[in-house]
């Protein structure tokens, strides 16, 4: 695999996490406000910020960020696939639109990203230690 191709895959992986972070903050901003609107926005900023930190680590090719991204993708696919199945099966739950939008974004994206991050190519690309 050429270095240019590896760099493109790293950029795409980091771009996913940037988009996930922006989506998290945007959906938190547009969600219906509860009594504690400040804490709702603060939580959305924190979740989105963590996604962006993972994106920065992936762009620097840190091996630990690859591991975090693998766990994130596995957890997202599992959680949001169940949410989508319940929502599409018209379960007796009421899902906020933000949850449905996030699941429609993250299930296909994380499925593809997970396959890449598990590959031997990714193991060869993300070799940089944390320190």
pLDDT for 131 equals 56
Using alpha carbons, select from 9, 15, 4 the residue that is nearest to residue 121.
Answer: 9
Read off the pLDDT of residues 87-125 as tens digits, 9 standing for 90 and up. Answer: 788 878 777 788 878 888 888 899 999 999 999 888 888
**Cβ of 110: how many Cβ atoms within 10 Å?**
24
Total-model pTM: 0.82
Across the chain, what does the average pLDDT equal?
86
pLDDT for 95 equals 74
Please answer whether residues 84 and 104 qualify as being in contact, where contact means their C-beta atoms are separated by less than 8 angstroms.
Answer: yes
Read off the pLDDT of residues 10-63 as tens digits, 9 standing for 90 and up. Answer: 999 999 999 999 998 998 888 777 767 788 888 889 999 999 999 999 999 999
Examine the pLDDT at 9 and tell me if it is beyond 60: yes
* Measured CA distances, 119 to 36, 62, 83, 90 (Å): 43, 16, 27, 36
CA distance linking residue 32 with residue 57, whole number of Å: 32
Domain boundaries, the chain: 3-125
Structure tokens at 36: 């504690």
């Amino acid at each position: 695999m050429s270095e240019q191709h590896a760099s493109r895959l790293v950029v795409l992986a980091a771009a996913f996490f940037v988009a996930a972070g922006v989506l998290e903050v945007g959906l938190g901003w547009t969600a219906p406000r509860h009594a504690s609107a400040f804490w709702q926005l603060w939580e959305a900023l924190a979740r989105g910020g963590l996604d962006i930190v993972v994106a920065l680590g992936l762009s620097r090719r840190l091996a630990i960020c690859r591991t975090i991204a693998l766990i994130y993708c596995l957890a997202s696919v599992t959680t949001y696939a169940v949410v989508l199945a319940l929502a599409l099966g018209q379960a007796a739950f009421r899902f906020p639109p933000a949850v449905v939008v996030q699941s429609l974004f993250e299930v296909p994206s994380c499925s593809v990203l997970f396959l890449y991050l598990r590959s031997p190519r990714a193991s060869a690309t993300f070799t940089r230690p944390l320190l």
